[in-house]
Amino acid sequence: MQAETSSSALIVIAKAPLRGFAKTRLVGERGLDADAVARLADAFVRDTLRACARVSGVRRVVCFAPREAEAYFRELAPDALLVPQGEGDLGARLSGAFDAVFASGATRAVLIGMDTPHVEPKLLERAFRELEHADCVLGPASDGGYYLIALRERRPEVFRRIEWSTPRALAQTLERAREAGLATVLIDEVFDVDGGADLARLEALLGADGEPCPRTARVLADVRAASNGGAGRADGARSP
């Protein structure tokens, strides 16, 4: 299938769920070993892409790592534009993702990561709406970072001089945007899932049917069953 040609791009920046590569801070949390964390990372990717698929009228883009995982992401997102992540720190990789979509003709772009599998499509839609009158849109994360950033044009300066993975990342990004003269809007806060406390918060959020992230809910149910001596359920998740 061909990628959609809309001038609005919805980007997911993601790591393949390889053992010891993605979501490694969760190893040892809530009964999760390295193999279970790889399965959970797979679920995070799938649920994030599921939320993105429910946003209409946008071109979906997956900015992925490592390069060798292209087939995995192609299977999950056959209609998406696939872009390998570049080198450098998180700021360089985020900036590179925006460079790629604006070079391909996008005029508005919203980017999220794979740490919020519970993100609601309506928040993604709101970010696009806010770009109608704002230059930059940020979705604050409860840990002081952000789970979403949206731009109307290439703005590498908002990704420079940021202390990534610290409680200062959002405030510093807002300062970079102010220095660049960008009109910036904040949308709803969402918590990232980085550690065990975040995972417990996510479990408390899940409905009886696993909404808003059913694949993640199934993996967590399997882990609980296994830790209680049960056999668990196979959910078909696999690492590339």
Those residues with Cβ within 8 angstroms of residue 240's Cβ, 6 or more apart along the chain or in another chain: 16, 17, 18, 68, 69, 71, 72
Residue 82 counted as domain residue = yes
Q: How confident is the model at residue 228 (pLDDT cuts 50, 70, 90)?
A: confident
Please give the full DSSP string across 151-165, using - where no structure is assigned.
ESS--GGGGSS--TT
Contact 73, 16 (CB under 8 A): yes
The answer to whether residue 148 sits within a structural domain is yes
- CATH number where 179 lies: 3.90.550.10
Q: How far apart are CA 21 and CA 23, in angstroms?
A: 7
Domain hosting 132: range is: 8-227
Q: How many domains does the chain have?
A: 1
Q: Assess if residue 73 is contained within a domain.
A: yes
In the predicted structure, residue 232 carries a pLDDT above the cut 80:
no
Q: pLDDT (tens digit, 9 = 90+) per residue, 152-188?
A: 999 999 999 999 999 999 999 999 999 999 999 999 9
Cβ-contact 114, 47 below 8 angstroms = no
Given a cut of 80, is residue 59 above it in pLDDT? Answer: yes
Q: Indicate if the alpha-carbon torsion angle 186, 190, 195, 197 is positive or negative.
A: positive
Q: Which two tokens stand for residue 113?
A: 């990561």
Looking at residue 140, its amino acid is P
Average pLDDT, the chain: 92
Q: Is residue 237 part of a domain?
A: no
Asked if residue 1 has pLDDT above 80, the reply is no
Question: Is the model's pLDDT at 234 over the cut of 90?
Answer: no
Alpha carbons 63 and 55: distance in angstroms, whole number:
18
Inform me whether the pLDDT recorded for 240 exceeds 60.
Answer: no
Residue of higher predicted confidence among 232 and 128: 128
Amino acid letter, 198: D
- CA separation for the pair 14, 50 (Å, rounded): 14
Domain membership flag for residue 2: no
Structure tokens at 103: 């070079």
pTM of the full structure: 0.91
pLDDT higher than threshold 70 for residue 5:
no
Question: What is the pLDDT at residue 31?
Answer: 79
Domain assignment present for 233 = no
| Model confidence at 120: pLDDT above 60 | yes
What pLDDT score was predicted for residue 190? 97
Distance CA 77, CA 61 (A): 9
Inform me whether the pLDDT recorded for 230 exceeds 60. Answer: no
Q: Burial level of 239, CB count in 10 A (0-12/13-18/19+)?
A: middle
Q: What is the pLDDT of residues 69-112, one digit of tens each?
A: 999 999 999 999 999 999 999 999 999 999 999 999 999 999 99
- Element (H or E) spanning 112, and its range? strand 108-112
33 within some domain = yes
What distance in Å separates the CA atoms of residue 187 and residue 205, rounded to the nearest whole number?
20
In the chain, % of residues over pLDDT 90: 84
For 204-223, what is the mean pLDDT? 92
Task: Kindly tell me if the per-residue pLDDT of 129 is higher than 70.
Answer: yes
